Amino acid sequence: MNLILEKTLDTPYVNLDNGIIEIKGRSMPENVLIFFEPIFDWIKEYIKDPAEFTKIDLFLAYTNSCSIKHISDMLRLLDSSYKEGHDMKIFWTYEQNDEEAKEAGHELESLLDIPFEYIETETESKSVKRILVKNLLTGKTGEISQRYWEIIVSNGHDKDFELL
């Protein structure tokens, strides 16, 4: 019982296997329902007879709000299995200085009983240009990569930020 979805420009790499749930990359699929459907189907079957320990490895370089909702729903399904006594842990990886990604992990953690471990990693490339921004919705300030800013602009969300 294994499911692998290869990474594309808009979707993350997904590896679902016995004891391993791994999602890494950008998640902004054109049709979120179609992308996440096989993942939900797999998880619904998996939690009927999970491994002794399940490692949930998440590294989401950029995630739109629809994807976050589906990831949250996915984690709630797994959380129900955790509450039944199945051992699990979420490893939430985020890029150094990406406070929004780190905060997204903390927000998800507050909804779940599954324990989280946070892993800070260096940016993909030392030459990645960093931009200081203020999120006008939350008031938080942080650094993001030029690549992340370009995604925000392409999705029309730049009005929610102020460049500092």
Give yes or no for a contact between 61 and 26, defined as CB atoms under 8 angstroms apart: yes
**Averaged pLDDT for residues 69-74:** 95
How much is the pLDDT for 73?
96
Q: Is the pLDDT of residue 127 over 60?
A: no
How much is the pLDDT for 154?
78
Percent over 90 (pLDDT), the chain: 62
Q: Is the pLDDT of residue 108 over 70?
A: yes
Q: Is the pLDDT of residue 2 over 70?
A: yes
What is the rounded average pLDDT for all residues in the chain?
A: 90
**Averaged pLDDT for residues 4-8:** 93
**Averaged pLDDT for residues 103-111:** 93
- Rounded to the nearest 10 degrees, the angle between the axes of helix 65-83 and helix 99-111 is 40
Q: Is the pLDDT of residue 105 over 70?
A: yes
What pTM does this model have?
0.74
| Interval 78-91: pLDDT, tens | 999 999 999 999 99
Give yes or no for a contact between 141 and 132, defined as CB atoms under 8 angstroms apart: yes
Give the strand order in the sheet containing 161-163. 141-145, 130-135, 161-163
Q: Which domains does the chain have, with CATH numbers?
A: 3-122 (3.30.750), 124-164 (no CATH)
SS3 for 59-85 is: EEEEECHHHHHHHHHHHHHHHHHHHCC
